[in-house]
């Protein structure tokens, strides 16, 4: 069975174009993520709570869009929908350059999240469509490498531009150009015929994969601390670990960990060992964040980056494949949107509440809350989610 699977070609021109399209989305996204707190402080004198509110609005609007984007992707022709969503997503980066007030920036950031929610679901579903079915589990893992490579390169470039030039317009322009490249890539995809859900009665399961609720709760618990870390790690590094201008290297090491674990887990994913892969990832997550929180030295700061990257490299593609395996073939868009919805719930809560916890106490306290939720996620996965998935999976 395994020999047969390896004969089917995964890296087709269509898959490569979808891969590059996703890379461009997240390269543009991660260019802004680590510097926006500094931008809001330096340009608008915003405090940590206000920063958390503004940045969380992006995730909130993406979250509100997810269920509808899954329905639209399953219902309409995917290629025109993908190109349209991508075009709108890219256009917002030009808006950041001209946003001269805090209110205008906050509105742009919030509305931009709608397009992000649509384009990520559209592109990932297109990628799944062009994968051979026998290699879908491992294909999802390799597709996720595009996000990891973007994470390795983008924050490093962003923080370099911030530290050496201090001109945020350069960073916004880089995002605009990267997004334009991605738009060209997805425009060249030759979309296959899809199994459509058009004509089926409207039901809740068309917008949210109900069988994915246990796994979705797990994802939200695990992504809460990621939301805090991805947004506030630069400030945490400077204020509480006393590292100056080193968070670009942190993101690079985290991305190397993500890439390493995705490559190591490819065989297990292809054999369908998803629950084993997720359990290993959660254990790495607890270890990595424990180093990050309790051992505040430069060496453990960077070691934790690699371990945290390893953890999410195991966890994220395995959970996404789990959602796909719980869904019918004409629910791929819904499965993807549900997975991303649950991720965004945790991520957005982390960004939003992390700022308020830090204002009331400090960032260490915020990370401790996140670590507690990760441990709760481990308990939930072992007692409920893994066995539920085994009983209800369709393939």
Q: Does a structural domain hold residue 15?
A: yes
Alpha carbons within 13 angstroms on the beta-carbon side of residue 149 total 14
Distance between CA 182 and CA 86 in Å, rounded?
8
Query: pLDDT at position 2, please?
Result: 41
Q: Does a structural domain hold residue 5?
A: no
Q: Does a structural domain hold residue 286?
A: yes
pLDDT at residue 351 tops 90: no
Query: pLDDT at position 203, please?
Result: 56
User: Largest Cα–Cα distance in the chain?
Assistant: 60
pLDDT, tens digit, 9 for 90 and up, residues 262-309: 888 888 887 888 999 999 999 999 999 999 999 989 999 999 999 999
Q: Does a structural domain hold residue 62?
A: yes
Q: Does a structural domain hold residue 252?
A: yes
pLDDT level of residue 3 (50, 70, 90 thresholds): very low
Contact 364, 301 (CB under 8 A): no
pLDDT, tens digit, 9 for 90 and up, residues 156-204: 888 888 888 878 899 999 999 999 999 999 999 998 765 554 455 555 5
pLDDT at residue 130 tops 80: yes
Q: Does a structural domain hold residue 3?
A: no
* Angle subtended by helix axes 298-326 and 213-239, to nearest 10: 160
CATH number, domain of 286, equals 1.20.1250.20
What's the total number of domains in the chain? Answer: 1
- Of 244, 250, 242, 219, give the one whose Cα is nearest residue 30: 250
Q: Does a structural domain hold residue 1?
A: no
The domain of 30 spans 11-192+206-392
Contact 333, 69 (CB under 8 A): yes
Q: Does a structural domain hold residue 199?
A: no
């Amino acid at each position: 069975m395994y020999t047969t699977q390896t004969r089917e070609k995964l890296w087709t021109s269509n898959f490569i174009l979808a891969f590059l399209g996703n890379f461009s989305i997240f390269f543009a996204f991660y260019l802004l993520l680590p510097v926006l707190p500094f931008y809001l402080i330096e340009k608008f004198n915003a405090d940590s709570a206000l920063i958390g509110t503004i940045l969380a609005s992006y995730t909130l609007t993406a979250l509100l869009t997810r269920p509808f984007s899954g329905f639209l992707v399953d219902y309409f022709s995917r290629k025109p929908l993908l190109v349209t969503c991508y075009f709108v997503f890219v256009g917002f980066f030009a808006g950041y350059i001209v946003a001269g007030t805090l209110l205008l920036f906050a509105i742009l950031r919030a509305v931009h999240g709608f397009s992000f929610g649509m384009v990520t679901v559209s592109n990932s579903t297109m990628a799944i469509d062009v994968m051979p079915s026998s290699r879908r589990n491992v294909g999802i893992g390799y597709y996720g490498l595009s996000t990891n490579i973007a994470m390795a390169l983008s924050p490093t470039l962003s923080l370099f531009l911030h530290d050496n030039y201090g001109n945020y317009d350069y960073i916004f322009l880089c995002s605009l150009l990267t997004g334009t490249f991605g738009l060209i890539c997805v425009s060249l995809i030759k979309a296959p015929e899809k199994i459509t859900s058009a004509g089926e009665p409207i039901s809740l399961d068309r917008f949210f994969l109900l069988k994915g609720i246990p796994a979705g709760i797990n994802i939200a618990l695990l992504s809460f601390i990621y939301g805090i870390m991805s947004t506030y790690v630069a400030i945490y590094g400077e204020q509480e670990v006393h590292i100056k201008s080193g968070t670009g290297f942190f993101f690079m090491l985290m991305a190397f960990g993500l890439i390493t674990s995705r490559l190591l887990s490819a065989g297990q994913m292809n054999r369908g060992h998803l629950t084993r892969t997720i359990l290993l990832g959660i254990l790495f997550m607890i270890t990595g964040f424990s180093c990050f929180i309790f051992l505040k030295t430069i060496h453990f700061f960077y070691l934790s980056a690699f371990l945290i990257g390893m953890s999410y490299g195991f966890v994220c593609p395995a959970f996404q494949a789990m959602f796909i395996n719980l869904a019918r073939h004409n629910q791929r868009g819904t499965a993807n949107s549900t997975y991303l919805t649950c991720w965004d719930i945790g991520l957005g809560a982390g960004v939003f509440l992390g700022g308020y916890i830090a204002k009331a106490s400090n960032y260490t306290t915020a990370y401790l809350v996140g670590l507690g939720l990760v441990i709760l996620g481990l308990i939930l996965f072992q007692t409920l989610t893994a066995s539920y998935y085994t009983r209800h999976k369709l393939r």
